Amino acid sequence: MKGNSLLNFCIKLIIFGLLGVVIIRFFIIPFVPDIDTDQKYVYAINKIDTEKKDTTYSIAFFGNSYSFTAYDPTIIKNKLGLNAIHLNSGAQRLETSLIVANDILGKHSLKYVFLEVSGATLLTPPKNDTKMWYFQTMALQEIPFSYEKFNEVNNYFPIEENTKYYLSALSKNIGRFIRINHIESYKSPANDTSFLSNSKKMYFSYNGFLANNQNPVTEEMFKKEFYRKAYAGKEVLWTDRKISLLRAFIKKAQKQGTQVILILSLKLYPTIYNDSAIQGFLKEFDNVHFLNFNAQRNQYSLNAESFYNSSHLNYRGSYQVTNRLVDSLSKWYKLPIKNNKELDFKVFKFSDYFYSLDGSQDKFVKFEFDSIPEILKDHKLIVSLYPKDPNLLSAKTKKSNYDSDNFSIDLSKDVIDVGTSKVFIKKMDTKITEQSLKKLIVYFYKPNDTLKLPTYNLNSFN
């Protein structure tokens, strides 16, 4: 009898234990806060993992804010016909990027992988630099736990100095479990991983890219930094460990037919970069290229408006470096550069345009042109979205009895001079998405206008 009682007790104990694990895992852990979240990065990681495998994205960028403020996927899409996504987060280091890139490359057949290798990106944070390890943890916690990840994080993270960050870096759920007593910070699980840029400091966000409209550097700072003597860092950037890790990643990419492009992003100040390690990769592998945006700086048309600090670009600068990136890809891989059909308004032509009505990120329209004729100076450019279902129209539109959500662009105020051309960008607050769109009309308007300019339905060109 005593044996049966002990057996029954053990069975009940196991059942209650398993029940407790289930309750904690599925009914408590989802509500526990993470250490923090890089919303843009989380959005991009979820986006690539939930869309069709191997067919959606050809290009992925890995690294830090040097990249996601620089390379515009809308330009890459228009000119090369390739979808690009930024899978990078703030202050991310190369070792972290390689862990993320290894995971993504194991699940997606990317044609081109870009890795940021600027100086600061290559420096492994000191063991006691808690802030920098916090940023690495935010990036790593979004990558699912695996044996391979366990080994990589173990060999990288300062475990004793940053134990709580180390555990979160291994697994988001482990990190949440050690914070399970933070009841005051519990939150509802996020059903929507969208990333929307409501700030006027941003023209738009798209596939993890931020088109910045930040306060530019001063003219004084631009002249002082842009023309000063090139900075040559004394730190050892390419350690044996980093070279070994990158070589292993390149070999993996080579087996999958993926090209690896190492990028040194444009900075306000000129730099001298010891690229002997990179030259070694270029000789060893046929699937590696190096794009140094700090070289041949005379190719750009830069001013104070191009930067918002010494290392990051406003859209004026990102437009220029993205076009240089496009030219390099076209040259290296014999990719034809495409041109959109021009929108000819008799007295004016848009040379390029792009719009996105993705329901999970910013909705915007972008036009590129050379110059606006004087005859149109008092006109406004109108963008009208007509939905298949009238119930999707905004309350303001319904009140005005219009059939479309309408957005106005002021030709004199909303112009972005990107150096070689001009750009209009308009974010659109609307319920209408690509799937629910009937037509997207653009036209010039002025009261009592007699020019009789044409209108264009943009979605008929796609």
Domain ranges of the chain: 31-333, 343-460
CA pair distance 184, 203, nearest whole angstrom: 36
8 Å CB contact between 426 and 364: yes
Confidence grade of residue 343 (pLDDT, cut at 50, 70, 90): confident
Of 3.40.50.1110, 3.40.50.920, 3.40.30.160, 3.40.50.720, the CATH number of 31-333 is 3.40.50.1110
pTM (predicted TM-score): 0.92
User: Residue 114: is its pLDDT beyond 90?
Assistant: yes
Residue burial 391-409, b: 16+ Cβ < 10 Å; e: rest: ebbbeebeeeeeebbbbeb
pLDDT given for residue 23 in this prediction: 67
How much of the chain, in percent, has pLDDT values that exceed 70? 93
pLDDT given for residue 64 in this prediction: 97
58 against 451, higher pLDDT: 58
Quick: pLDDT tens for 65-112: 999 999 999 999 999 999 999 999 999 999 999 999 999 999 998 999
Angstrom CA distances, 443 to 204, 274, 398, 427, 449, stand at 22, 52, 21, 17, 12
pLDDT given for residue 281 in this prediction: 98
Token pair 């005379």 is found at 298
pLDDT given for residue 1 in this prediction: 53
User: Residue 2: is its pLDDT beyond 60?
Assistant: no
pLDDT given for residue 198 in this prediction: 67
Quick: pLDDT tens for 174-196: 888 888 877 777 777 665 555 66
Strand partners, 423: 368, 416
User: Residue 39: is its pLDDT beyond 80?
Assistant: yes
**Lowest-confidence pick of 59-73, 174-188, 329-343, 438-452:** 174-188
Confidence grade of residue 162 (pLDDT, cut at 50, 70, 90): very high
Which two structure tokens, joined as six digits, stand for 220?
Answer: 């004084």
Average pLDDT, the chain: 90
pLDDT given for residue 231 in this prediction: 76
pLDDT given for residue 293 in this prediction: 96
CA pair distance 376, 345, nearest whole angstrom: 11
CA pair distance 376, 288, nearest whole angstrom: 48
pLDDT given for residue 448 in this prediction: 87
CA pair distance 60, 54, nearest whole angstrom: 12
> 343-460 sits in which CATH class?
mainly beta
